[in-house]
Structure 1
């Protein structure tokens, strides 16, 4: 995929997130890796559902390479790419149900169905740090190898994966599972999750996706 195609995929991803209630307003930022050292990230103050291809900034560990001023949280993206060389896409947003869970001590269940078992196998919590701060970027870097989903307490969520397609799927799975959990609580419905043994057997032997290695 060339650079223009990659930016267009990022643009489509922003529209997808808005159209599916996975983002709102100017809250959130998205990125995709170009090569070992560079990545495109949404520019500062952009509305994810209405971005033009010029609304993405090319960044490296030295800062802005070309384009508009990047999101103030671009260092957070940079730190994930540094820690996880296999990661090629990062989505940061504040979808309603996932952010609600991030603002509590509730653990997201990952044993409800196939996609949850895989995409939510390792969910990491990050204590509140001011958005865009070096403290937040450092906290994210510290936990980047521990999972592919982060709950930023009193802030929002981050998902990151090997491609934009996989990252979108992880984000959808996260929000869907959180919504299911909360609505079950509201309706006094008990969801029968699978046993730890069954989940382990699925992840190791079902061949649904490659087995991930975690620190």
Structure 2
């Protein structure tokens, strides 16, 4: 979380991160200064939602993280944050164009949109859980974004690349002459590195 805060990918108290360790999920709490968080503030919960550290307040988005893990057993790390540019796209009738560079396409694929639901609710957990079945990046309408990965670092990397892609999309749109990757170039990338419509194809770093 400190890295997210330093990179300006979230606010001091916003966003949350989780890591699956076998049958236990470690998750950051809500309302805590992400720039100063210490290990003793990290929660631990089972997949069915039972807190393993009595007295420690869990994140209000714990159920959302659990639902993602239930729908994506291949995932070990989740990052939910509110990077400014990417979050702006959650309130726009426009998409983040991940085809502008080879890296953004390869790392992100096509972001999936989840319809609006009130934060901290079972409905939000449900719609995000459904969306993440289709990809590794979820745009949460009028809220923020969520990325997943085989590791926590991969989820973080996707978050950082997503914000870069959002900025590039915005800049390219203002200049009015963007040239995204052609279908031929995308096929070339997929032949070498794997198809991006398969959410379980790992990015090769």
Instruction: Determine if the TM-score, normalized by the shorter chain, exceeds 0.5.
Output: yes
**What SS does structure 1 have at the residue aligned with 2:198?**
coil
What's the counterpart of residue 182 of structure 2? 195
2:53 to 60, 63, 66: 66
**What SS does structure 1 have at the residue aligned with 2:19?**
strand
Query: Residue 211 and residue 105 in structure 1: after superposition, are their counterparts in 2 closer, same or farther (change >3 A)?
Result: closer
**Higher helix proportion (structure 1 or 2):** 1
Instruction: Give the alignment of 1:1-215 within 5 angstroms.
Output: 14-35=1-22, 37-60=23-46, 61-66=48-53, 68-186=56-174, 188-203=175-190, 205-207=191-193, 213-214=198-199
Q: TM-score, normalised by structure 2?
A: 0.90
Alignment partners' CA distance in 2, 1:76 and 1:200: 34
| Structure 1 consecutive aligned stretches of length 4 or more whose deviation exceeds 4 Å | 209-212
- Deviates further, 193-202 or 95-104: 193-202
Question: Unmatched 5+ residue regions in structure 1?
Answer: 1-13
Q: TM-score, normalised by structure 1?
A: 0.86
Alignment partners' CA distance in 1, 2:126 and 2:161: 26
Alignment partners' CA distance in 2, 1:58 and 1:135: 22
- Deviates further, 107-116 or 174-183: 107-116
Count of paired positions? 198
